[in-house]
Amino acid sequence: MEHIIVYGSHYGSTRRYAEKLSEQTDIPAVSYKQMPDLSDIKTIIYLGGLYAGGVLGLAKTLRGLSLHGGQTLIIVTVGLADPKEPENRENIRVSLQRRLPTELFCRTKIFHLRGGIDYQNLNVGHRTIMALLYQSVCKTSCEKQTAENRAFIETYGKQVDFTDFRALQPIIEEIQGKRYE
């Protein structure tokens, strides 16, 4: 197998993006829980939901992987914060840089997509984390809030879905480019 899409998703938005990408590129998509062997794959496209700044399943998937010649890693994050805001993109990148070995980070192409959330559906652990975060974020005055925190406050407790499959287009173009390298 030359290319693979691996995804980490708790509530489905990342899985839906991964399945759509798979449909549009004819590249198989699997959950990181199936622990695919990535050693001989040319292009690894990893889509992961953002959880407290981390990308779900990424560390487990990349454990022990060092890209060898010709191998490429594309990471796609799916979060609630709007990736059109430069500040949000920067936060995600800084967090990824801290979590990935420098050599791997430098060779990785990164994209960001927006997912959604349904507070009714969250498990108890996630609901508690979000409630604590909300209390803490609300202590900051409005003028000092970051774009990410403002979006968090606006959507807290609701059901929102910002999924936009058209946002997959630049990722599809990147993959097509890799195919003809």
Single out the residue of 5, 9, 43, 76 in contact with ligand FMN (rule: CB under 6 A): 9
56 token code pair? 């779900």
Pick the piece of the chain touching ligand FMN (CB under 6 A) from 36-44, 72-80, 103-111, 138-146: 72-80
The residue count for binding ligand FMN (CB under 6 A) is: 23
Residue 81 touches ligand FMN, criterion: CB under 6 A: yes
Contacts of 98 (CB under 8 A, 6+ apart): none
Contacts of 25 (CB under 8 A, 6+ apart): 3, 5, 172, 175, 176
**Complex with ligand FMN: residue 27 or 50, whichever CB lies closer:** 50
143 phi and psi angles, rounded to 5 deg: -65, -25
Residue 153 touches ligand FMN, criterion: CB under 6 A: no
Residue 99 touches ligand FMN, criterion: CB under 6 A: no
Q: Are 79 and 50 in contact (CB under 8 A)?
A: yes
Q: How many CB atoms lie within 10 A of CB 25?
A: 19
Residue 115 touches ligand FMN, criterion: CB under 6 A: yes
Residue 13 touches ligand FMN, criterion: CB under 6 A: yes
Count Cα atoms within 13 angstroms, Cβ side, for 2.
10
Residue 36 touches ligand FMN, criterion: CB under 6 A: no
Q: How far is the CB of 116 from ligand FMN (least distance, A)?
A: 5
Residue 51 touches ligand FMN, criterion: CB under 6 A: yes
177 phi and psi angles, rounded to 5 deg: -60, -40
Q: Which residues bind ligand FMN (CB under 6 A)?
A: 9-15, 49-53, 78-81, 115-117, 122, 126, 129-130
